[in-house]
Structure 1
Amino acid sequence: MLFLLEEVELKPTEMAIYNYINANLDKVIYMRIRELADATYVSTTTILRFCKKFGCQGYADFKSQLYHYAKSIKENNTLIQSLDQTIFTEFLQRTTQPDFQRKLGQAIDFILQSELLFFVGIGTSGIMATYGANLFSSLYKFSLAVTDPQNSPVYYVSEQFDEHICLIVFSVSGQNEDVVDYINRFRLHHIKVISMTNSANSTIARISDLNIPYYINVETYQETNITSQLPVVYLLEYLAREVYYQKHKDM
């Protein structure tokens, strides 16, 4: 509630004060205690009691906390930038570089050696995992999307399938603990892991057999990651088409 993470038990009168503050945040941070009391039809004593429920020594302390809270909200609500197409053209140019092509070729080899693909991701990356599984199921072989790793156990994977499974993992940050744990459990079976992350220095990148970093600007809005997934879509479609071509070229 306001600047506190936990809920505060409020009486009806105090709830009315809370609702007023919440609706008039920009005004309240500049109000004197008497002005707030008059605006909410209570006494200054009631306002002080309200402040103490929020862990503040007095009204000045409460206003200071409220000011920083209001400031953080404004920062989180900053308008997002319009789409910059140059970051995508720069990414596409990087994909033509020898080192990047080598990584793509290695990914194609891993996939062609596999009989079953697991596409793993959470949140927006989970959407990419689902898209990848659908795309490769259509163009290559049956694939599965894992968007809830915590509830997707791998304890009973038969050893005879170990060499025929490939994990393809998506994560912008490369640090998601649930995904890291899932990869580590698969690595006990010596299963190949390909990851697509925004940085080659992340945990997921380091524990993968092959990492394909795409390096674009990370964007957040209201604490939500809205980093573009266009590089991931390109990588998926490139790999799927190349795998399809390799599979059918000698037919």
Structure 2
Amino acid sequence: MLFLDEMVELNDTEMDIYNYITSNIDKVIYMRIRDLADEVHYSTTTILRFCRKFDCHGFSEFRIKLRLFRKDQQLIHIDRTDETTYIDFLTRTAQPEFQAAIQAVCDILEESELTVFIGVGASKIMAQYGSLYFSSLFLMSIHIDDLANHPLYYMSDQVSKKLCLFIVSVDGENKEIIKNIHQLKLHNAKIVSITNSAKSTIAKLSDANIPYYINKEQYQDANITSQLPALYTIEMVGKEMRKLLNLK
């Protein structure tokens, strides 16, 4: 909340002040307390109480912290996409190691009767796309949107042994997904994954893993690593499976 990491409980009056400040930061950092009081139509005493809720002894300290917060915001930027990252990835997709990983996934899918896609965050969108893409090309596939409320624990052994859990994950460390993997492996389900690294926990727990290795990108608390390699890999697997089925 502004320059604080935690939320602050504000009454209606303080919320009016907060809304004005957040909408006019560039003006407020140069204002006197009287100027702000005139703008929001509240007393300077009310503004001082507001400042104390933000761990400031007075308006001057609040304004300094606000100025530093604004400066940090302006310094944050997103680097332009480096096309060489994608060129390098595409080059690696033609290498024997990557092709072998694709084939290992296809071998499992050939023996499966149902594919369940899962992913979290941006990877969830890739998982949704994967389920649609596979269903259109060769095999009935579904996507589980919320593992917490739709756990995969209670499938029968008869269903599990013909199930392929297809995981899309950049960091490969999601705890909820890992918990479901352990449960499904007890029932002989097959696990395949697309991750950024073969060294991640999900990759190591998978029966087959396709790592794509691109630079991880972070913006504040969000993982904004490109999903293009995951998308391309899903389509490669789908097309390879369709090709294999056409040969039979």
Normalising by structure 2, report the TM-score: 0.85
Structure 2 distance, partners of 1:65, 1:183, is 46
* 1:56 aligned onto 2:56: yes
Q: Which residue of 1 aligns with 2:203?
A: 205
1:65 aligns with 2:59: no
Q: Distance in 1 between matches of 2:72 and 2:29?
A: 13
Counterpart CA distance in 2 for 1:182 and 1:73 is 39
Contact 1:197 1:211 in 2 (8 A): yes
| Contact 2:21/2:28 (<8 A) preserved | yes
Q: Which runs of 5+ in 1 are unaligned?
A: none
1:156 alignment partner AA: Y
1:167 aligns with 2:168: no
Q: Deviations over 1:211-250 (max 9, x none)?
A: 2111223344565444322211221111112122222313
Q: Deviations over 1:136-158 (max 9, x none)?
A: 22222211112221122223211
Residue 105 of structure 2: which of 83, 104, 107 is its match? 107
CA distance in 2, matches of 1:11, 1:129: 43
- Residue equivalent to 2:27: 27
> Does the Cα contact within 8 Å between 1:196 and 1:212 map onto a contact in 2?
yes
SS of corresponding position for 2:168: strand
Q: 2:10 is matched by which residue type in structure 1?
A: E
Consecutive unaligned residues in structure 2, runs of 5 or more: none
Of 31-40 and 46-55, more deviation after overlay is shown by: 31-40
**Contact persistence 1:123–1:147 (CA under 8 A):** no
Structure 2 residue aligned with 1:145: 143
2:116 equivalent in structure 1: 118
- Could you say what secondary structure the match of 1:149 adopts? coil
- Partner residue of 1:239? 237
Give the structure 2 partner of residue 9 of structure 1: 10
From 81, 89, 92, give the equivalent of 2:90.
92
Taking structure 1 as the reference length, the TM-score comes to 0.84
CA positional deviation for 1:30: 4.2
Let me know the Cα RMSD of the aligned residues.
2.6
| Number of aligned residues | 247
Aligned counterparts of 1:74 and 1:138: Cα–Cα separation in 2: 45
Shift of 1:40: 4.3
Bigger CA drift: 214-223 or 157-166? 214-223
